[in-house]
Amino acid sequence: MNFELTKGFLASLRTAIEKNDEKFVLENIVDLHPADIAEVLDELTTEEGKQLFQQFNEEKAADVLVELEEDVREKFLASLSSKEIAEQFIDNLESDDAADVIGELPEELKEEVISHLEDVDQASDIVDLLNYEEGTAGALMGKEMIAVKENWTIMRCTKEMRKQAEEIDFVYTVYVVTDKEKLIGTLSLKRMLLTPAKSKITDIYNSEVISIRATAKDEEVAQIMQKYDLIALPVIDELGRLIGRITIDDVVDVIQEESEKDYQMASGITEDVESSDKVWVLTRARLPWLLIGLLGGVFGAQVISLYETDLGIHPEMAFFIPLIAAMGGNVGVQSSAIIVQGLANNSLGFAGILTRLYKEFLVGLLNGLICSALILMYNMVFCDSMELSYTVSLALLAVIIFAALFGTFIPLILDKYKVDPALATGPFITTMNDILGLFIYFYIGSLMY
């Protein structure tokens, strides 16, 4: 049952498309899951894709469209008129997907597409959704949901649900609202199954409902849904009125994007890139971090040049430059990463900044002592200069402790001033620690000799 895209299948499909072999497409493609079809289309050219799309009914075509990679979808839609986009695709999408697709279109096309929509309610839902800022709960939510009034009976409720359900693919939760649309609770399908048809909703609904304001950030949405294991989260306006719902599948993507962003930051990549992107996109995404590294290297060179005369006399001082610089950078990234993850998971607890720094000092001290002792033993055996041996170990200890403290302090401060703390795992901290490390090393060296 589960589909796997192979090179061979792709080759046969291309031949079939070229030969206009509708039978192959009907037998092998049309019944696949939209996500699988999209996977196939992501590998085809826009022209080939267009030919395939003609074989799908409108509903399938719309479902496939949503699953495409953004750049593939963009190219495909660019080859259609605004009327085609509206009638063949947007009219068949759920409001949140529809708003997402329209949101990606060029500014001048957006209004044109909306003006061609046949379903007026759908159009007004979409216009409404487009008003919410990207990255907020409002921009994530959809309008399709089942809401019942508190004073209805189960029987009326079932009837209304049947009516509403025709428009909705999947019933996540039944929401209970007041006459004025204020969200007051949920109704479980199980409870409905087990209760006599004449009971009133108000007597059986569950008043403990977790909701979110439309203006909340999507990180908050993800945290709440994850914490409370929700598969749908109702969205309310300033007056507490139910205006939409967010489903877990959209939030899984948010969660993944969030972690990927932090991961890319820690790896020194500034944009969301994939290995299939163009060479210059990949280059551009990586250059900023390299330039900062370059600048750091130049500063490092200047620090070392201060000690040029010493180096002429004791060239062996240069041996351990990479060690000191690398260890400073590594320890800094480790410390920052733990804080960044704690902030992302909301798991830092209540300890104040001083407590944290003290603990980090202890971790740094312990790691520093172990590493310094090891390198001292090594140098005792392999290094001729006592001065150098002591310098390296002392400098290493100092660098590890300082880097640990910096690595903890910087993301906490960034977070306090509402800057993304993941920045700290990136260029700045590493470069700073590199330079600081060199400074400590040569300063101690100049004292020793």
Query: Using the rule CB under 8 A, is 326 a contact of a copy of itself?
Result: yes
Give the angle subtended at the CA of 58 by the CAs of 17 and 117, to the nearest 5°. 130
Cβ within 8 Å of residue 227, ≥6 positions away: none
Q: Please say whether the beta carbons of 66 and 101 come within 8 A.
A: yes
Strand ranges, E, within 248-404: none
Q: How far is the CB of 53 from a copy of itself (least distance, A)?
A: 20
Query: Using the rule CB under 8 A, is 371 a contact of a copy of itself?
Result: yes
Query: Using the rule CB under 8 A, is 357 a contact of a copy of itself?
Result: no
Q: Which two tokens stand for residue 172?
A: 């996540």
Query: Using the rule CB under 8 A, is 256 a contact of a copy of itself?
Result: yes
Q: How far is the CB of 155 from a copy of itself (least distance, A)?
A: 13
Q: Please say whether the beta carbons of 300 and 318 come within 8 A.
A: no
Query: Using the rule CB under 8 A, is 155 a contact of a copy of itself?
Result: no
How far CA 57 is from CA of 60, 98, 394, in Å, comes to: 5, 17, 72
Phi-psi label, residue 349: left if phi above 0, alpha if psi -120 to 50, beta otherwise: left
Query: Using the rule CB under 8 A, is 266 a contact of a copy of itself?
Result: yes
Q: How far is the CB of 350 from a copy of itself (least distance, A)?
A: 5
Q: How far is the CB of 25 from a copy of itself (least distance, A)?
A: 18
Q: Please say whether the beta carbons of 116 and 86 come within 8 A.
A: yes
Crossing angle of the two packed helices 120-130 and 95-104, in degrees rounded to 10: 60
Rg of the chain taking only CA atoms, in angstroms: 30
Binding residues for a copy of itself restricted to 13-72, rule: CB under 8 A: 31, 33, 35, 43
Q: Which two tokens stand for residue 289?
A: 């971090």
Q: By C-beta, is 120 or 194 nearer to a copy of itself?
A: 194
Q: How far is the CB of 344 from a copy of itself (least distance, A)?
A: 9
Q: By C-beta, is 31 or 84 nearer to a copy of itself?
A: 31
Q: Please say whether the beta carbons of 34 and 67 come within 8 A.
A: yes
Binding residues for a copy of itself restricted to 67-96, rule: CB under 8 A: none
Binding residues for a copy of itself restricted to 201-230, rule: CB under 8 A: 208-212, 224-230
| Whole-number Å distance between alpha carbons of 420 and 24 | 50
Contact stretch for a copy of itself (CB under 8 A) within 78-86, 107-115, 184-192, 198-206: 184-192
Q: How far is the CB of 407 from a copy of itself (least distance, A)?
A: 10
- Nearest Cα to Cα of residue 423 among 400, 407, 399: 407
Contact stretch for a copy of itself (CB under 8 A) within 12-20, 46-54, 77-85, 332-340: 332-340
Binding residues for a copy of itself restricted to 280-299, rule: CB under 8 A: 280, 282-283, 286-287, 289-291, 293-294, 296-298
Query: Using the rule CB under 8 A, is 249 a contact of a copy of itself?
Result: yes
Contact stretch for a copy of itself (CB under 8 A) within 113-121, 124-132, 137-145, 157-165: 157-165
Q: By C-beta, is 83 or 227 nearer to a copy of itself?
A: 227
Count Cβ atoms below 10 Å from residue 179 Cβ, excluding itself.
8
DSSP assignment of 388-427, as one string?
A: HHHHHHHHHHHHHHHHHHHHHHHHHHHHHTTS-GGGGGSH
Binding residues for a copy of itself restricted to 302-321, rule: CB under 8 A: 302, 304-305, 308-309, 311-312, 315-321
Residue type at position 250: D
Site map (CB under 8 A) of a copy of itself, residues 416-435, x = contact? ---------x----xx--x-
**Chosen residue from 19, 57, 198, 279 binding a copy of itself by CB under 8 A:** 279
Q: By C-beta, is 114 or 147 nearer to a copy of itself?
A: 147
| Whole-number Å distance between alpha carbons of 226 and 428 | 32
**Chosen residue from 148, 157, 324, 395 binding a copy of itself by CB under 8 A:** 324
Query: Using the rule CB under 8 A, is 375 a contact of a copy of itself?
Result: yes
Query: Using the rule CB under 8 A, is 179 a contact of a copy of itself?
Result: no
Q: By C-beta, is 68 or 114 nearer to a copy of itself?
A: 68
Binding residues for a copy of itself restricted to 335-354, rule: CB under 8 A: 336-339, 341-342, 345, 347-351
Q: Which two tokens stand for residue 91?
A: 């009219």
**Chosen residue from 72, 99, 117, 255 binding a copy of itself by CB under 8 A:** 255
H helical segments located in 195-275: 201-204, 218-227, 248-267
Q: By C-beta, is 113 or 269 nearer to a copy of itself?
A: 269
Query: Using the rule CB under 8 A, is 168 a contact of a copy of itself?
Result: yes
Contact stretch for a copy of itself (CB under 8 A) within 86-94, 98-106, 149-157, 327-335: 327-335
Q: By C-beta, is 85 or 333 nearer to a copy of itself?
A: 333
Burial code (b: 16+ CB inside 10 Å, e: under 16) for 233-251 equals: bbbbbeeeebbbbbbbebb
- Nearest Cα to Cα of residue 140 among 219, 86, 229, 239: 219
